[in-house]
Chains A and B, each alone.
Chain A
C-alpha cells in the first residue's frame, strides 16, 4: 500500500515551507451512507512534524477537518536535504508515518 502521506518541504534560506496532504476519509460522524446509516466518526486526531528529532509543528484535529486533509506551515532552522518526519494517528488508533526530505 502506498503511503498515505504526501509532503512538499521547500527551503528558502533557512526558512522551510512545509505542505502536506494526507489520504484519510475524515468522517465526521454526521454523514449517512447510501443505506441511510450514519458513518461513524473516523478522523485524524494528531499530526506531528519532526525535523532532526525535534517537533516543529503539531496539529490536533477534530471531525471538522476536510477529507484528505491539507496543511501548510513554515519553520526556521532547516536546510535542503534535512530529514522531515511526518506521523499521524486517528481516533481508531490507525496511524502512518513518512520520512521525507527537505528540497
Chain B
C-alpha cells in the first residue's frame, strides 16, 4: 500500500517536473495553437477572421454603431495625410519606399520582425524612424501625429493580407518572444492587472462600460481612431494608455519591452488578416 502511494507520489513529482520544464521550453508554434484554440472555444460563434474587429466581433450593439461609423470612418483624414507623407521625398530626394521591401506597399503583415543584425524586434514604427534616420531626417513621435498617418496608409495597402510574423531559431529572437509573452501575462500597476486579465480572462465582458476585446487579433486593426482619444494612435500609444489604466507607470513608447510584447501578441494572431486602420470606442 505504502509502496503504491510512494509510486503514485513519484509519478506526480515527475509530472510536476515535466510541466515545469514544459513551461521553460520556448515553443511559439505550440503557444499559437493553444492561444487560438482558447479563443475559438470561448467565442464559438465568432469566425476566426472576425477577431480582428475586437469588441465588435463579440458584441452586437457595438457592432451596429461601428458599422454606422465605418460608413465614413474618422480615420479617412489620417489615411489621406499618410499617403501624402509616405510619397513625399526626404530632403535627400529619397522616400520611405527606399527603406522597405516591395517599396513599403502591402508589408504590414510582416511587422514586427526580428532583426538579425541588431538582435532586436523592429516594429513598423521603429522601421519608419530608422528609415528617417538613415535619410537624415528627425524621428517622429511614436504614438500619434504623422506616424499614425503613415502607418495607417501602410496598413491600408496591406488590408486582407495575413499576418506572418516569424520567430526564427535565433536564441535572441526566442528570448524576445518569451520576454513579450512574460510581459503579456505579468500583473502590474496598483490594480494588479495583466494584459491577459482583461483580454483573455475577461475578454468580451464589460469593464466600466466598455467591452474588452479578445487578445486574439487585438493588434490587427492598428493604427486606430479611438473615440476616447478623439484621435489616431499606434500600438505603442495603446500600450502606454493600457498601462496607465491599471495605474502602472508607462514605458517609453519604443521601449524594448513594448516591442517584445507586440512581437508576441502579433505572432499569436498569425493567419489573421490585416484590418488597419480601424476605429474603436
Contacts A21-B74, A67-B74 known; list 6 others, CB within 8 Å: A2-B80, A20-B72, A21-B72, A21-B77, A68-B77, A72-B71
Determine if B71 and A23 form an interchain contact, defined as CB atoms under 8 angstroms apart: no
Inter-chain contacts of B76 with A (CB < 8 A): 6, 21
B81 at the interface (CB under 8 A from A): yes
Interface residues of B in 62-85 (CB under 8 A from A): 69, 71-72, 74, 76-77, 80-81, 84
Inter-chain contacts of A75 with B (CB < 8 A): none
How far, in angstroms, from A72 to B74 measured CA to CA in the complex? Answer: 14
What range describes how many residues of B lie at the interface? 10 to 19
Q: Mark B42-78, 1 if CB is under 8 A from A, else 0.
A: 0000000000000000000000000001011010110
Q: Mark A21-42, 1 if CB is under 8 A from B, else 0.
A: 1010000000000000000000
Inter-chain contacts of B69 with A (CB < 8 A): 70
B230 at the interface (CB under 8 A from A): yes
Main SS class of interface, B: helix
- Tell me how far the C-beta of A69 lies from the nearest C-beta in chain B, rounded to whole angstroms: 10
Determine if A6 and B72 form an interchain contact, defined as CB atoms under 8 angstroms apart: yes
Q: A residues bordering B, Cβ < 8 Å?
A: 2, 6, 8, 19-21, 23, 67-68, 70, 72
Sample of 26 A–B contacts (CB below 8 Å): A2-B77, A2-B80, A2-B81, A2-B84, A6-B72, A6-B76, A6-B77, A8-B72, A19-B71, A19-B72, A20-B72, A21-B72, A21-B74, A21-B76, A21-B77, A23-B77, A67-B74, A67-B230, A68-B74, A68-B77, A70-B69, A70-B71, A70-B72, A70-B74, A72-B71, A72-B72
Inter-chain contacts of A8 with B (CB < 8 A): 72
| Chain A residue, CB-CB nearest to B74 | A68
How far, in angstroms, from A61 to B180 measured CA to CA in the complex? Answer: 47
| Chain B residue, CB-CB nearest to A72 | B71
Inter-chain contacts of A72 with B (CB < 8 A): 71-72
| Chain A residue, CB-CB nearest to B230 | A67
How far, in angstroms, from A8 to B84 measured CA to CA in the complex? Answer: 20
How far, in angstroms, from A19 to B69 measured CA to CA in the complex? Answer: 11
| Chain A residue, CB-CB nearest to B77 | A23
- Tell me how far the C-beta of A90 lies from the nearest C-beta in chain B, rounded to whole angstroms: 17
| Chain A residue, CB-CB nearest to B69 | A70
Inter-chain contacts of B72 with A (CB < 8 A): 6, 8, 19-21, 70, 72
Inter-chain contacts of B71 with A (CB < 8 A): 19, 70, 72
Inter-chain contacts of B80 with A (CB < 8 A): 2
